[in-house]
Structure 1
Amino acid sequence: MVLSRRAMVTGLGALAANPLAGSPQRSRRPAGPTAPEPPAVPAGVAPERLARDERFWGAVAAQFHVSGEFINLENGYYGIMPEPVRQAYHRNVDLLNENNSRLLRTTYKAQADQIRHRIAQVLGASTEDIALTRGGTEALQALIAGYNRLRPGDAVMYADLDYHSAQYAMNWLPDRRGARVERITIPEPATCQAVLDTYERALEEHPRVKLLLLSHMNNRTGLVMPVREILAMARHKGVDVIVDAAHSWGQLDFGIDDLDTDFAVFSLHKWMGAPLGSGFVYIRKHRLADVDMAFADETYPAGDIRSRVHSGTMDVAPILTVGTALDFHKALGAANKQARLRFLRDRWVHQVRDIKGMQILTPDEPAMYGAITAFRFAGRARTADNVAIADHLLERHRIFTVQRSGVTAGACVRVTPALFTTPDQLDRLASALRELPSALR
């Protein structure tokens, strides 16, 4: 039988609307177990009070399948997917594998636009200001490399606590743009005023700075920066700021207006709980021309933010799963997540501050921390010292943490609980830290 052109077009249109049509392999696969429903958030309960409701958070923890072989307090690398997200991801992996190029060439672009719209709604942004990426690092590299307002003799600035891959990209700008690099050190102990004074002094001392990298929450110590205030002083001096919000979105309760930034990057596979390989870049529409198109990409017009990132043929299953992750996040509520994560951090920190030589590298000012906190012992600032501490916690106590270097005052150990972490587990950490000084002699 010979199909007419009209019939072919009609059939392809139906296929685009329903990529599973005519897929017997899909229909024969047995359905997997149904994911449990997230617990309903009690009405009228303040986040700080809900943070102490172990029955509620026990039900939340049941949404995550985690290993029982160790206590995972290294949840800053990426976030474990809750069961609804994990199951959706597996369905999307199957969908992509079965439909292959047909999915990519028909429905995916429209689905990706829907995901961009969902992200924009949660962030309080415009869809046209968002481009999907494979993570925060790709987004940072696109912004730093593409920022085109630098001239030879200008300077760029970053701090010791900023993300190492972003530092590398900034260090590349002398060759790419002829710009000088200025590096500053965040003070210890860190307070909001001390941080503001540091940036004010640095911007005053380096008037040629035109671009500043600023971590909303850094991945070394977990310190949360007063972004809006630093941005205001930078704008006053004509300095643009790229905000790295990869660790903060989904961990802290904020929207894009709270940052008041023109340029920002976000990860979706950390505290939003989406699969690995999902993030996005934010460029406010009127600033789009200040970032070059990626490799003169002609896939999208110059006025489309998606022309600023070129990822090639990427695994789209993580992107297709983002909506489910956002549903889970919204069901719990950003304020409730933030309060719980701060409660868990306080649980261990408040038990160990009196240990001789213990240095906690984030203050107790609520606006300056979330889940992530790092520590070091006085006299043990070498990388090897802190690797030994992390190894001891794992081998002796089955507590998994991670050593972090790059802090000017010395290396440290990072502790990062998650929504499935229990207070008892953090009590075990506190007990282990009390024995550390004698154990490591």
Structure 2
Amino acid sequence: MNAADSQRRAWLKAGALLPLAPSMALATATSSATASAAATVYAGATAIAAAPTLPVMPARPAGTPQQVAADESYWRQIAAQYDITNEVAMLDNAFWGSMSRPVLAAYEQHVAEVNRGNSYYGRTQFPPAFGAARRRAAEALGVSADEIVFTRGATEALQILIGSYNKLRPGDVVLCADIDYDNMITTLHWLKQRRGVEVVSIAMPEPFTHQSVIDCYAQAMARHPKLKLMLLTHVNHRNGMVLPVAEINRMARERGIDTIVDTAHGFGQLDMRLPDLQADFAGINLHKWIGAPIGVGAIYIRRGRVQDIDPYMGETDRADIRTRVHTGTLNFAAYLALPQALDLHEQVGVAYKQARLARLRQRWLDAVRDVPGLQLLASDDPRLSSAIAAFRLRGRTSMADNVALARRLLKEHGVFTVERDGLAGGACVRATPSIFTLEAEVDRLSAALRKVAA
């Protein structure tokens, strides 16, 4: 295989289509004039199509993140940048993040561009643009481009990391917790069948504190001397607790234990970058809190650790992270719109987003703390708090109870939330604002909860 073919395969492994190598293109030429034209076409293929010109987000007022978080007029301007249904108070924003109007416009323009150019565009213009999007994402994540590879979301990323981690031996122990995402728990149990490992699960304390969570993981490490791999969920999708990942990773590293971090809900809503987590392996979503089109995620493997994740289904290049994923033909336009989503995310500012989300969460929680029939699954410790929080009626811990509660909130009060299962303490209902959520919407939730819990 020549160098050009090797490069082409590297792009294919990353889910892209590489343009024909110059030697291949020129081989089809039957005259010097045709060869010259072919070379000109190929040279032009390296130029990235001009990105759509986007309007900037509304100018952020002066002040600290906490001061700006309280400026409702500013956040009304931000909300106006989103086309969100007014049929309900939308408080299930953890499924995915809606694109802002400018990002949606860019995405639609890219869809038209890809559709118009067809394979000519796909083989000539897309590969360099895809590479530029990868570099832009790496910059935002605070890592090098050769440490990330795109996926269709965090689920795909984490399944690859867990399933392809090659340091496990029969009899080793792997660990998950009740806060971890369902599909990741099932993937860990798949390792029992494929690798002969023992899967152990721990339950987070309820209520939880920073120290009690750290102690829970420390005790698990002490109890299981054969523990080799842990799944850590940075921000869980059930009650929104922010796991002290960096502290747990430091403890694990001292014991020779690897971790795979699920930061699907962390990056984009918390003021952090990947190195802050002290993680060697992570799965990332870019269509949740960044607001990219649906179907954009990434794998992170710290430089020097890529050999510990097997290449995808027989790929032989063990040094290139891109050989760990082979998605096939991608939704080109989704990745092309990612740089615009990151630009607008940074215009708002992640510290300001986090402060606004914290304010909205705290507003509805504080309004119902005195309701005796309501159990809140949330901490007042800002180190453990995200936009996501959960609740249940006291004593109502079944999934059926919480399905009924979410339906009642919707039918009687027009508040859209979602039931979640899997916590050791029982099912719950999750509420999640976004940066387009206004105070009046979370006030509808707190008013509704006071009525249903009366």
1:148-190 Cα deviation digits (max 9, x unpaired): 0000000100001101111111010011111110111011001
Out of 30, 37, 43, which is 1:7 matched to?
A: 37
1:399-438 maps to which residues of 2 (within 5 A)?
399-438=415-454
Query: Aligned partners of 2:200, 2:48: CA distance in 1, in Å?
Result: 53
Query: Aligned partners of 1:359, 1:18: CA distance in 2, in Å?
Result: 53
Aligned length: 423
CA contact (8 A) 1:214 1:241 kept: yes
Query: Which runs of 5 or more residues in structure 1 are unaligned?
Result: 21-30
Out of 355, 364, 374, which is 2:380 matched to?
A: 364
Out of 162, 169, 184, which is 1:144 matched to?
A: 162
The answer for the alignment partner of 2:391 in structure 1 is 375
Query: Aligned partners of 2:299, 2:399: CA distance in 1, in Å?
Result: 32
The answer for the alignment partner of 2:97 in structure 1 is 79
Query: Aligned partners of 2:414, 2:44: CA distance in 1, in Å?
Result: 54
Query: Aligned partners of 2:453, 2:268: CA distance in 1, in Å?
Result: 35
The answer for the alignment partner of 1:61 in structure 2 is 79
**Is the aligned partner of 1:245 residue 2:275?**
no
Shift of 1:248: 0.9
Query: Aligned partners of 1:264, 1:16: CA distance in 2, in Å?
Result: 31
Query: Aligned partners of 2:209, 2:124: CA distance in 1, in Å?
Result: 52
Query: Aligned partners of 1:76, 1:19: CA distance in 2, in Å?
Result: 32
The answer for the alignment partner of 1:17 in structure 2 is 47
Equivalent position amino acid for 1:258 in 2: D
Secondary structure, aligned partner of 1:286: coil
1:396-422 Cα deviation digits (max 9, x unpaired): 111110000011110000000011111
Query: Aligned partners of 1:391, 1:297: CA distance in 2, in Å?
Result: 48
Shift of 1:15: 4.8
The answer for the alignment partner of 2:218 in structure 1 is 200
Root-mean-square deviation (Å): 1.6
Query: Aligned partners of 2:280, 2:47: CA distance in 1, in Å?
Result: 36
Out of 47, 56, 59, which is 1:37 matched to?
A: 56
Query: Aligned partners of 2:64, 2:47: CA distance in 1, in Å?
Result: 43
- Structure 2 vs 1, CA of residues 100 and 19 (structure 1 numbering), >3 Å: closer, same or farther? farther
Shift of 1:10: 1.2
Query: Aligned partners of 1:52, 1:437: CA distance in 2, in Å?
Result: 28
1:80-130 Cα deviation digits (max 9, x unpaired): 101111101101111111112222212222112111111111111111101
Shift of 1:140: 0.3
Out of 320, 337, 361, which is 1:304 matched to?
A: 320
**Is the aligned partner of 1:348 residue 2:378?**
no
Equivalent position amino acid for 1:136 in 2: A
1:291-330 maps to which residues of 2 (within 5 A)?
291-297=309-315, 301-330=317-346
1:48-77 Cα deviation digits (max 9, x unpaired): 111000111111111000111111100000
Identity of paired residues, percent? 46
Query: Aligned partners of 2:213, 2:374: CA distance in 1, in Å?
Result: 22
The answer for the alignment partner of 1:23 in structure 2 is none
CA contact (8 A) 2:48 2:129 kept: no
The answer for the alignment partner of 2:8 in structure 1 is none
Query: Which runs of 5 or more residues in structure 2 are unaligned?
Result: 1-29
Query: Aligned partners of 2:44, 2:307: CA distance in 1, in Å?
Result: 38
The answer for the alignment partner of 2:349 in structure 1 is 333
1:275-312 Cα deviation digits (max 9, x unpaired): 000010100110110000011235xx321111111111
Query: Aligned partners of 2:48, 2:251: CA distance in 1, in Å?
Result: 52
Query: Aligned partners of 2:230, 2:175: CA distance in 1, in Å?
Result: 5
Secondary structure, aligned partner of 1:248: coil
Shift of 1:19: 6.4
Equivalent position amino acid for 1:243 in 2: V
TM-score between the two structures when normalised by the length of structure 1 = 0.93
The answer for the alignment partner of 1:233 in structure 2 is 251
Query: Aligned partners of 1:11, 1:80: CA distance in 2, in Å?
Result: 38
The answer for the alignment partner of 1:98 in structure 2 is 116
Secondary structure, aligned partner of 2:453: helix
The answer for the alignment partner of 2:4 in structure 1 is none
